[in-house]
Amino acid sequence: MNGKRITLIIGGGIAAYKSCELVRLLRKAGHQVRCVLTKSGAQFVTPLSLAALSEDKVYTELFDLKDEVEMGHIQLSRQADLLAVVPATADLIGRMAAGMADDLATTLLLATDKPVLIAPAMNVRMWLHPATQRNIETLRGDGIQILEPDEGAMACGEFGPGRLPEPQSIFDAIIAMLGGSPKPLAGQHVIVTAGPTHEPIDPVRYVANRSSGKQGYAIAEALATLGARVTLVSGPVHLPTPKGVHRIDVETAVEMQAAVAGNLPADAAVMVAAVADWRFPSADQKIKKQDGAPPVLEPSENPDILAGLCRSPLRPRLVIGFAAETEQVIDYATTKRMRKGCDWIIANDVSGDVMGGDRNSVHIITDQGVESWPDTDKAEVARQIAQRIADALA
Ligand code: C5P
């Protein structure tokens, strides 16, 4: 997407500081940002910081005659591809809903014929107040895009919806509105392993596990959507190849290890596969049933692909392992992260119907501690992991 012009209106709220990071992200992606500070916005961020980050003049007052000569407010609102209000306070939302034009920000918003996105941020009670909700519905009816506030601990000490989403999420919403999808992983190579491995016993039999490959495939797809070059090393599964992903089919753990090694270097690796721990000497001919004497399988240990990759001179910058556990999920996974030497372990409890199912509830274990995500579908887990990876590689 070519550089677009964004008029960013910054309302007065403690979250206004996040608009600085948003300006930086937009500029880094090659877009032009023109900042308009409301009077109360200027109490939280200075025009100087915004001017430095946007590399442009910052507009503050409606009746600045010099600005009216150089660029009238109508022109200011028209010479943009999109207007974004970040943060949008209850007061600003109320004035927009009432169609007021009593300062530069509201005048631009009334005069514009361009798409408008607002990112509300305020105290939880103010956000949930019927007046605010009524105003939000009015704005929605006017065709304004509302980026719902996040839920969490607030600067005022309360908890609930009302927090300004992180700058990256606001950036993504702006880019999506402008008709592009953000590609933060463009130019990055990520290897993903997925599915089970099959360890043959003879030409017609093998030892396998219940992995469906769904979570790994969803991660490969989400990474490709963010612009990554994805090599998906897949055990035997019944799934279509995700769009834009290079898939290499393997059967055994030894083959999977060779395929991973053969596709390095990579910027990140996500090892989702449920690799068999053991392999067996495979008979050349079908083992025949013998009276009363079942065959003795003599297992030997498979290579640990994840641990090997972490010790490799070609170790990717970010290596992520998975841990499927049926008990003491977090404890086992925390130990596993240390033992394998990977950066993150994504742990899930597979005692239910996670394997083969469409939902997953995961815990992310990093050197910062444990973060538990609520139960959600595997595609959403994948999108969030992909976004995390993009943030970590940025
Ligand atoms: O040791 P365990 O199988 O529980 O570890 C799970 C993690 O290690 C997963 O990320 C899996 O893909 C990886 N693994 C591997 N090679 C093995 C066994 C597991 O890469 N032989």
d(CA 328, CA 129): 42
Write down the pTM of the prediction.
Answer: 0.63
Contact 193 CB / ligand 1 (< 6 Å)? yes
CATH level 3 topology of 5-177 = Rossmann fold (3.40.50)
Contact 333 CB / ligand 1 (< 6 Å)? no
Q: Whose CA is nearest to atom 21 of ligand 1?
A: 304
Q: Whose CA is nearest to atom 2 of ligand 1?
A: 323
pLDDT value, residue 74: 79
- Annotated catalytic, 342? no
Best residue among 234, 304, 350 to mutate for probing ligand 1's pocket (most ligand atoms within 8 Å of CB) is 304
Task: Give, in order, the Cα–Cα distances in Å from 151 to each of 139, 165, 312, 337.
Answer: 21, 9, 41, 30
385 touches 365 (CB < 8 A): no
Contact 194 CB / ligand 1 (< 6 Å)? no
Q: How close is the Cα of 268 to the center of ligand 1, in Å?
A: 16
Radius of gyration for the chain, computed over Cα atoms and rounded to the nearest angstrom = 27
Contact 273 CB / ligand 1 (< 6 Å)? yes
Q: If residue 140 lies in a helix (H) or strand (E), which one and from where to where?
A: helix 130-141
- Backbone phi, psi, residue 163, to 5°: -80, 145
d(CA 107, CA 383): 38
Contact 321 CB / ligand 1 (< 6 Å)? yes
pLDDT value, residue 384: 94
Best residue among 211, 219, 305, 320 to mutate for probing ligand 1's pocket (most ligand atoms within 8 Å of CB) is 305
CA angle 188, 196, 360 (to 5 degrees): 75
Q: How close is the Cα of 305 to the center of ligand 1, in Å?
A: 7
Q: How close is the Cα of 306 to the center of ligand 1, in Å?
A: 6
pLDDT value, residue 170: 94
Contact 50 CB / ligand 1 (< 6 Å)? no
Marked catalytic residue, from 20, 156, 310, 342: 156
Q: Whose CA is nearest to atom 17 of ligand 1?
A: 304
pLDDT value, residue 69: 59
Parallel, antiparallel, or unpaired: how do β-strands 116-120 and 145-146 relate? parallel
Q: How close is the Cα of 386 to the center of ligand 1, in Å?
A: 20
User: Across-strand partners of 40?
Assistant: none
pLDDT value, residue 274: 96
Please report, for the chain, the start and end positions of each structural domain, with discontinuous segments joined by +.
5-177, 189-393
CATH 3.30.450.40 fits 189-393, yes or no: no
How many Å separate Cα 150 from the centre of its chain?
Answer: 15
d(CA 355, CA 362): 13
**Contacts (Cβ under 8 Å, ≥6 apart) of 218:** 242, 378, 379, 381, 382
Q: If residue 336 lies in a helix (H) or strand (E), which one and from where to where?
A: helix 329-340
d(CA 210, CA 241): 19
Contact 323 CB / ligand 1 (< 6 Å)? yes
Contact 304 CB / ligand 1 (< 6 Å)? yes
Sign of CA dihedral 226, 228, 229, 232: negative
**Residue-wise pLDDT tens for the chain (394 aa)?**
678 999 999 999 999 999 999 999 999 989 999 999 999 999 999 999 999 999 999 998 766 656 665 567 778 888 899 999 999 999 999 999 999 999 999 999 999 999 999 999 999 999 999 999 999 999 999 999 999 899 888 777 888 899 999 998 899 899 989 987 778 898 899 999 999 999 999 999 999 999 999 999 999 999 999 999 999 999 999 999 998 899 999 999 999 999 999 999 999 999 999 999 999 999 899 998 876 788 888 999 999 999 999 999 999 999 999 998 888 999 999 999 999 999 999 998 887 776 777 888 899 999 999 999 988 888 999 999 999 999 999 8
Q: Whose CA is nearest to atom 13 of ligand 1?
A: 306
pLDDT value, residue 71: 63
Best residue among 234, 270, 271, 355 to mutate for probing ligand 1's pocket (most ligand atoms within 8 Å of CB) is 271
CA angle 126, 129, 134 (to 5 degrees): 120
Q: How close is the Cα of 318 to the center of ligand 1, in Å?
A: 16
